[in-house]
Chains A and B, each alone.
Chain A
Amino acid sequence: MTDTKTNPQGAIAAFMTRSFDGAKIEPDQDIFEAGYGNSMFAMQLVAFVESHFGLDIEAEDLEIDNFRSINRVAALVARKQAMAAA
């Protein structure tokens, strides 16, 4: 799992592509505006971030902006990793 440190965007993009039937998602593309996000995917994304990056998504992370795009999710992961390391 070296990509968790070197390329989190790549791991998140691969997960979203798998989830959205092979669709190519741009790093800043709003997945909700594009119609990809649904209620089932919402918790799958939480489960992916927790499982893949070894993090706990918590109540204070529940902002839709944190999950809107590949780069936003990567930024959330980076913040959580920095907090865990501190």
Chain B
Amino acid sequence: MTVQTTPDHTRWDSLAQEVIAPLAAQIDQDARVPQQVIMALRQAGAFASGFPGGPATDQAEALSASLDHGQMHQALGAASASVQGVLNVHHMGGSALAKWSSKAQRSQWMPRVLSGEICCAIAMTEPEVGSDISAVQTQARPVSGGYELTGQKAWITCGDFADLFVLIAKTEAGPTAFLLPKQTKGLRIAPIEGLLGCRGYMMANLHLEAAYLPEDHLLGRPGFGASHVAVTGLEAGRLNLAWGCVGLADAACTLALRRAKTRQQFGKPIGDFQLVQQMLARMATDIHAARLMCQSAATARALRQMDAAKQATMAKYFASQMVGRVTRDAQQIFGAEGIGPNTPMALFHRDSRIMEVIEGTTQVLESMIARLSLSEVHLS
């Protein structure tokens, strides 16, 4: 397989660096992505990025679109991890919707999802349920004409912003996916404040108290919510997040390189000291490796290769740890100025810590990758 090299500058970099990056500190402070950023993303077509192009899409078009989608997440990750997160969960919820909706549901929802008029999110986690989605406790009880939902969803990215949630609840058939509009009667949204990082995720808990959803808000079939619908969203989200980590790490590394060339100690730039060079070498190599993994996984996804899900999982597993190593070293190179209040390095560091937790913890992903690898080897 040939992996295409990412160009140094893409169409998304201008938007990210000129419109979003100058607002990154404000987004962190306000814990909210401002409307002007949302509008700019809509105008750029960011909310439609990464969605299937339809049956006419050939392999070359699919590959180009997949890499462009990755470059978008990379650019957004470099500018603001919070904004990258908004587009990530939109794509996660939207991908699940696009894949498993009926024709009528697609007609009803997808045009507004693709335009960004509707922002999607995915609601799986509960106070007692994290990685084991099949154990969701939120109940969906069949009632006349639909379902009545009762329970709680926790730590939902964009919970306080999204217009439409793909929500997993328990039915007699097993975990089942539903489309939950934010204006649904019986849904109460409780914003979560004071997150360590990625404060612009606009995270919230969702409280469902006999929330009624009509039959046509069922997504997929009863019992397939965890194994198929949620997994579709998670597979998309893991690769998006890996790209976002590459962008975030690259932004931190770029600042650290400049610092290493300009900060003078003992009569020379600190970049001339071998112990600083060791950190710079680790950072550059780490980022390059993660980017290649993302490009390979994006290629596998575009070409519908069988190992696409495994590659996305490995990319997220590696990139989310890589960004922690890189931001730590970058912060170290900045010395005291890397730990001061309201510095880019401090924000990078706080944001990077979120990446190993969401869309599958490092430990859960290790288990998945190991099981998939074991299944590829046969002794007989």
Interface residues of A (CB under 8 A from B): 18-19, 21-22, 39-40, 42-44, 46-48, 50-51, 56, 58-60, 62-64
The reply to whether A39 and B227 contact each other, CB–CB distance below 8 Å, is: yes
Cα A58 to Cα B221 with chains together (Å): 10
Other than A40-B372, A47-B308, give 15 A-B pairs with Cβ distance below 8 A.
A18-B375, A21-B379, A22-B378, A39-B231, A42-B227, A42-B228, A43-B309, A44-B309, A48-B306, A58-B100, A59-B101, A60-B102, A62-B100, A62-B228, A63-B221
The reply to whether B102 and A47 contact each other, CB–CB distance below 8 Å, is: no
Question: Is B371's beta carbon under 8 Å from chain A?
Answer: yes
Cα A11 to Cα B223 with chains together (Å): 27
Cβ contacts under 8 Å, B134 to chain A: 39
Cα A58 to Cα B342 with chains together (Å): 48
A18 to chain B, nearest CB (A): 7
Q: How many A-B residue pairs have CB under 8 A?
A: 53
Given A42-B227, A43-B228, A43-B309, verify A59-B378 contact (CB < 8 Å). no
Q: Identify the closest chain B residue to A47 (Cβ).
A: B306
**Range of interface residues on B (Cβ < 8 Å):** 20 to 34
B125-136: CB near A (< 8 Å → 1, else 0) gives 000000000100
Cβ contacts under 8 Å, A51 to chain B: 304-306
Cα A36 to Cα B141 with chains together (Å): 30
Cβ contacts under 8 Å, A48 to chain B: 306
Majority-rule SS of A interface residues: helix
Contact of B378 among A18, A40, A42, A46 (CB under 8 A): A18
Cα A58 to Cα B106 with chains together (Å): 12
Cα A22 to Cα B378 with chains together (Å): 6
The reply to whether A46 and B221 contact each other, CB–CB distance below 8 Å, is: no
The reply to whether B221 and A62 contact each other, CB–CB distance below 8 Å, is: yes
Q: Identify the closest chain B residue to A15 (Cβ).
A: B306
A76 to chain B, nearest CB (A): 14
Question: Is B368's beta carbon under 8 Å from chain A?
Answer: yes
A59 to chain B, nearest CB (A): 5
Question: Is B140's beta carbon under 8 Å from chain A?
Answer: no
The reply to whether B223 and A64 contact each other, CB–CB distance below 8 Å, is: yes
Given A19-B375, A39-B134, A40-B368, verify A59-B102 contact (CB < 8 Å). yes
Cβ contacts under 8 Å, B219 to chain A: 59
Cα A60 to Cα B379 with chains together (Å): 38
A32 to chain B, nearest CB (A): 12
The reply to whether A59 and B220 contact each other, CB–CB distance below 8 Å, is: yes
Cβ contacts under 8 Å, A59 to chain B: 100-102, 219-221
20 contacts between A and B (CB under 8 A): A19-B375, A22-B379, A22-B380, A39-B231, A40-B371, A40-B372, A42-B228, A43-B231, A44-B309, A46-B228, A47-B309, A50-B304, A51-B304, A51-B306, A58-B100, A59-B220, A60-B102, A62-B100, A62-B220, A64-B223
